[in-house]
Structure 1
């Protein structure tokens, strides 16, 4: 009873006042980074310098179990709409495969968070990567955002040097429906944070609350960072991935992110660090130095956003949520493309390298597999929620939460009504459940149904402690007890055939309801656009 009372008090403090334009309704800032592993920030065990995320975690809540959709566009579809990605129209990627669930852009029945909050009196702002519709009818300003700066497709260079003879592509951006260019000397991560700060400053005299979505493309490839940030990490990774992973595991246990006896996944494809030559080690060290520098820089941008909040005296009336869109990337993808050669050193504008599997294994510590899979290394993300005076400082909770839960969370704390009809189009019911009880009273999530995944034939079901998972093209169901084996090291399917039958039947029912098609029947041929249309593309080759 006491817990219920405390939650009621906390939530009442968040509900809108009688006047619909009341500035006391909470502001909401959603920050998402790209291709960053579960353990890549300080609050989740990393050695990378992330003081601003450290602060948010120290003063807020961390979730141990927050799930994404394993890859860029499907994650963003669920994040923006509160729908499973097939229902929203992005069952595969931002390419049209000829069916409504695979049309490659958000359908009109899946309302964006910006559309719902905008009609509820919020100013809606976005800076960064869109990647849920390339056609201009599906750009951010057409889907509820008052202000937008960023890029529409799946990836971008971080520098535009103004001369393209050496294969460095121009960086084409969009601001409020107008095509612009990144200027020589500008660094895209800084520009995303800078526009977020600018848009916040523009609300200075407004009586309306705001929703700000900051979608960093860092640390997504290509590996390009500011020289001064790279210098900070010089020599830090000479210990190699084996030792670094051991250090992170110890730190994660100390922080309570994983249990003292947690299972740890291994990857037989990752060579022992000591088996490398001196020159190989130096090359690999450089990649991780640049990757760390990219995360360092995005954290610096978060600090600027927090400073602007404080300057505007909105820091005590703002919910900040931080997540990653998927796990770190292993192997060479997409399929069917040649790997573009660097035209400059790793870290510069001519670099088309990326972190690669051996370091990604560290990033996804302690989990199995990588981006684009339905194993924990593909679909697990850190989540930090910060709201001074509303969310208990320094708390860590299990979850289990998913992208589809964030939209209903925002609507509940904003006092926003989710419409059954929007602009003469019926709206799909929300698929998730609000996390307000979890955030503000640490109550367990009251989820009425399991969580489900499908993307390019990779499938999963999470129900309580159990997870059913299948990797394409084997298409064999495996069963794991996530409470005791989140690293998915012990397949229990053979010992629990009835449970496998029940969970697979639940998956089949969900798949039918969400128009999921067997992947072999819809699989694109040739260059599938795995990473989507890349406006400044480094072409990459097949998996190692």
Structure 2
């Protein structure tokens, strides 16, 4: 009798364990590139994003989610859950001679792939890597079972034909094997196609997919049929379009009508001051940019369709973010202006959005990619998990990239190890968003968040935010609760708050091996930064 009872208990516990294991979600992390806060329909845009808007309507949006203002440092934080310096990518994917600035992910900072594989997940990455050029540090060497995409910071979307003498080839890697994009293929479609083929392999195992699109990062290239969909839509110009988006954001509940809106960028000329020909050129740029975002949405529809076909949609969490705000002028990085070898939108196009339209993309915030003003570090955040996340939720946040790794590990039942392959690991500094996503529980509002990149610095704690821009190196203070547009510097009125946040920054800088930018600043003029 005792043996029978023991057997029943073992069977029951085994069934419970198997049930819990089966309930672990598949996780899909989607990142788009150089997309502004307002560029999805669910965040105020006129661009057609019905699939993304559906995810938002059936899931959760955050009003305040932060990235690291530029590609490689954002990806370093995202993939490891560390601040970028702690992960080894404090500046970019270039080596500046110190471990915190080596330009590739160190071994003390574990990737999604490494942690979730140990928890029984199959791990996939399709798209952009940009956290280590040497093949020793490619995705398959850092825990991902399958990888397709490109290693560096930017890529054309089409094969070089017919501009074979002037346009570089699209150099790709699949599972450590180099290959080129086939003629006639569009890279956004191929990134999705490979992601779909990978999730078919997962069968009954839970999977993690990091889907890292390069759209709508320059160069402006898109299928002609998608561009045609936006013909004439941008004839109203950036002044009117920004107001349109702001009005829509307020109606959606994404923007607070009580908050100050960023002042007009003095570098953005008035639309009506342009000649007819100039307006036609600028319209074309935004038509192509919109088409690139539109194509991402179409591809996410393909992905969702496949999840449904595989009957995996009910147990899949999808999180969608952007790596930084929209890009302003290239003069910020010293890069020469690109020269087109064909019409804007074609495979010979090497143009980009520029601050006139980026000013719209980042509505209602100040500034652009590469700065820690809100326009540089604010991302849309959409989370979808049917039956688990309450539909139509809009929450304040405040979340950061460093929170995603602990969130995914929490949901997956994965243990983040104190040592891995004989190397002691860095502890995770972020907070799990699991309770926010599943139960609507607020995040700790007073925890500080930090930024440093190329001498630009910031701290956000509660309603207060200090920002310092290189080379002025002077703290500005903003009350984000009433002035997320960062229109009024109140540092002189609150020197005690500035002093306290400065002290917090200095402690964080020491803990994360952050150096003064003057000591590390690259001396090569015109260094290419993506």
TM-score relative to the length of structure 1: 0.93
Q: Residue 59 of structure 2 aligns with which residue?
A: 60
Structure 1 residues 20 and 89, CA, compared in 2 at 3 Å: closer, same or farther? farther
Deviation at 1:73? 0.2
Take 1:17 and 1:425, find their aligned partners in 2: how far apart are those partners?
34
* Partner Cα distance (1:130, 1:165) in 2: 26
Query: What CA deviation, in whole Å up to 9, does each residue of 1:298-342 have, x standing for no partner?
Result: 111111111111111111101100000000000115634332311
Q: Which residue of 1 aligns with 2:325?
A: 327
Match of 1:535 in 2: none
Extract unaligned runs of 5+ from structure 2: 1-14
Query: Residue 442 of structure 1: CA displacement?
Result: 1.0
Q: Deviations over 1:410-455 (max 9, x none)?
A: 0001000000011111110001000011111111113673000000
Is contact 1:233-1:293 (8 Å) kept?
Answer: yes
Q: CA 1:528 to 1:337, structure 2 compared with 1: closer, same or farther past 3 Å?
A: closer
Task: Say whether 1:130 aligns with 2:129.
Answer: yes
CA–CA separation in structure 2 for the residues paired with 1:31 and 1:373: 23
- Residue-pair matches, total: 515
Counterpart of 2:175 in structure 1 is 176
Aligned match of 1:505: 503
Match of 1:446 in 2: 444
| Match in the other structure for 1:301 | 299
Match of 2:214 in 1: 217
Pick closer, same or farther for the CA change 1:201–1:529 going to 2, 3 Å. Answer: farther
Q: CA separation in 1, counterparts of 2:162 and 2:475?
A: 51
Residue 199 of structure 1 corresponds to which residue in structure 2?
198
Question: What is residue 76 of structure 1 aligned with on the other side?
Answer: 75
Give the deviation of 1:165 after TM superposition: 4.0
Distance 2:526 2:462 in 1: 35
CA distance in 2, matches of 1:27, 1:307: 15
Inter-partner Cα distance in structure 2 for 1:35 and 1:441: 31
Instruction: Give the structure 1 partner of residue 381 of structure 2.
Output: 383
Whether the 8 Å CA contact 1:21–1:208 is kept in 2: the answer is: no
Per-residue deviation, 1:200: 1.3
Contact residue 221 and residue 355 of structure 1 kept, 8 A: yes
Tell me which residue corresponds to 2:249: 252
Q: Deviations over 1:359-408 (max 9, x none)?
A: 00000000000000010000000000000110000010000000000000
Query: Is the contact made by 2:328 and 2:368 (CA closer than 8 Å) also made in structure 1?
Result: yes
Partner of 1:10: none
The 8 Å contact of residues 30 and 213 in structure 1, kept in 2 or not, is answered as yes
Task: Trace 1:69-468 onto structure 2 (pairs within 5 A).
Answer: 69-162=68-161, 164-203=163-202, 206-265=203-262, 266-333=264-331, 335-446=333-444, 449-468=447-466
Question: Structure 1 stretches of 5 or more lacking a match?
Answer: 1-15, 533-544
Equivalent residues of 2:163, 2:347 under 8 A apart: no
Separation in 2, partners of 1:20, 1:175: 35
For 1:189-222, what per-residue CA distance to the aligned partner results, in whole angstroms no more than 9, with x for missing partners?
110111111111222xx22100001000000000
1:485 aligns to 2:487 (yes or no): no
How far the C-alpha of 1:184 sits from its partner, in A, is: 0.5
- Alignment pair present for 1:31 and 2:27: no
Per-residue CA distance 1:97-116 (angstroms, 9 max, x = gap):
00000000000000001110
Alpha-carbon distance between aligned partners in 2 of 1:399 and 1:339, rounded to the nearest angstrom = 37
- Is 1:49 matched up with 2:51? no
**Structure 1 residues 193 and 217 mapped into 2: Cα distance closer, same or farther (>3 Å)?**
same
In structure 2, distance between residues paired with 1:135 and 1:525:
23
Q: TM-score, normalised by structure 2?
A: 0.95
Task: Report the Cα distance in structure 1 between the residues aligned to 2:328 and 2:29, rounded to whole angstroms.
Answer: 26
- Give the Cα separation in 2 of the matches to 1:64 and 1:192: 28
- Change in Cα spacing, 1:349 to 1:368, as seen in structure 2 (3 Å) is same
Q: Which residue of 2 aligns with 1:515?
A: 513
Q: Is the 8 A contact 2:259 2:481 kept in 1?
A: no
Would you say the 8 A contact 1:267–1:361 is kept in 2? yes
Aligned equivalents of 2:485, 2:528: Cα separation in 1: 26
Shift of 1:163: 5.2
CA distance in 2, matches of 1:193, 1:163: 25
Distance 2:67 2:335 in 1: 26
Q: CA deviation at 1:20?
A: 9.8
Q: CA deviation at 1:526?
A: 1.9
After superposition, the CA RMSD in angstroms is 1.4
Contact 1:245–1:362 (8 Å) recurs in 2: yes
1:24-72 deviation digits (Å, cap 9, x = unpaired): 3111000000000000000000000000000000000000000000000
Separation (CA, whole Å) in 1 of partners of 2:525 and 2:93: 14
The residue aligned with 2:5 is: none
CA distance in 2 between partners of 1:136 and 1:334 (Å): 30
CA contact (8 A) 1:166 1:343 kept: no
Structure 1 residues 504-543: aligned runs within 5 Å = 504-527=502-525, 529-532=527-530
